[in-house]
Amino acid sequence: MTELVNILRLARSDFSYFFRTKWLMAVLLSLNLSDMLIVALVYKQLISSFNYFQFFVPAIIIMGLFVAALDTGRRIWLAIREGVTQYYLALPISTQGIVVAYLLAGGLAAMVYSASLMLIALVILPITAVWNALILLPFLFFLAMGLAGISATLAAFASTHGEFFFAYQQVVQILLLTMSTVYYPIEIVKNYLPPFLTSIVSANPLSLAAEAMRDAFLGNSVPPSSLLNILLASLPFTIVGAAAYFIALRTIQTKGKP
């Protein structure tokens, strides 16, 4: 019971740190809102075959979730670099507890951030079935934990290579976003990429979440198989991220440094 309370305390501390970082909030909000209110609207004028605004706005919520979840890695990296991790390891909480606390905080922060984007999106793109969008939130939480896991893995790898963390993060961000259906429909991807790469694009958790979000915004009920796919696609990332961060913490415990 004490362990659980300590995990929740640590998670709360990391969660509030995310929202207190003013420059980060400015970056995320300016990027996501300008994408929603400028880029989506202008591309709607450039694309005549379908309503790109309706297509892209739900995906921006997923982009926000992704970028916010990736920030977990920056916080882990910063804690390792500045010795805060050593302080955490001295607290009456297990190493596994620290890992769980960070992933919980990362998942929750990203979900709350994307929920706020969803509220804005609901104002500019009204939907009849709000419930369909809200039902996605717990699944977005799992997805965010998976994405936080990817970020934790990068932070664990970068702990010995200084500021390369940001380079790793940017590569992952570019690859996951461009190799997804966040910006374009899968039919277009099929026309351009070979079948092997198209299946990677389809299985990308960002594609799965973006498609589910689009369904919700169109007023369609999200198929249970889509929700299950989001869970299944997120799980490996969460496990790998947790294991990588756990190993990094153990190394710090035994060697005193990453």
Partner 1 sequence: MLDVLRLVWFDLKHELYPPVWIGLEWFSFSAQIFMYGALMSQLVNIPGIPNYQQFYAVGFVVMMTFDVGSHAGREFVEAAHEGRLPYLLSLPISRSKLFLSIALKGGLELALMLMVPFGIILAMIGNLSLVSMAAAAATLFFLGFGIAGLMLGLSFIAFKSSDMYSAITTGLSALLIRFSTVMYPLMFLARASPGYEVVARFSPLTYGADLAHLFLGFDPGMLLNPTIAVAVLTALAVSTLGVCTFLLQRLVEGVKSG
Q: Tell which one of 13, 16, 30, 199 touches partner 1 (CB under 8 A).
A: 30
Phi-psi domain of 47 (left: phi exceeds 0; alpha: psi -120 through 50; beta: other): beta
- Report in angstroms how near the CB of residue 103 gets to partner 1 at its nearest: 26
Q: Phi/psi at 9 (nearest 5 deg)?
A: -65, -45
Say whether residue 17 binds partner 1 (CB under 8 A).
Answer: no
Cβ atoms 148, 45 nearer than 8 A: no
The DSSP secondary-structure symbol of 182 reads: S
Tell me: does residue 26 bind partner 1 (CB under 8 A).
Answer: yes
Q: Name the minimum Å distance from CB 230 to partner 1.
A: 23
Tokens of 150: 């990817």
Interaction of residue 157 with partner 1, rule CB under 8 A = no
The single-letter code of the amino acid at 11 is A
Residue 192 sits in the site that holds partner 1 (CB under 8 A): yes
Q: Does 16 bind partner 1 (CB under 8 A)?
A: no
Interacting residues with partner 1 between 172 and 191 (CB under 8 A): 174-175, 178-179, 183-184, 188-189, 191
Among the listed residues 164, 220, 253, 257, the single contact to partner 1 using CB under 8 A? 164
Using the rule CB under 8 A, is 35 a contact of partner 1?
Answer: yes
Question: Between residues 2 and 191, which has the closer beta carbon with respect to partner 1?
Answer: 191
Asked whether the beta carbons of 229 and 142 are under 8 A apart, the reply is no
Alpha-carbon gap, residue 109 to 78, rounded angstroms: 17
Q: Is 39 exposed, middle or buried (0-12, 13-18, 19+ CB in 10 A)?
A: middle
- CA nearest neighbour of 209 among 122, 128, 141: 141
Among 2, 23, 90, 194, the residue binding partner 1 under the rule CB under 8 A is 23
Residues that bind partner 1 (CB under 8 A): 22-23, 25-27, 29-31, 34-35, 38-39, 41-49, 52, 164, 167, 170-171, 174-175, 178-179, 183-184, 188-189, 191-192
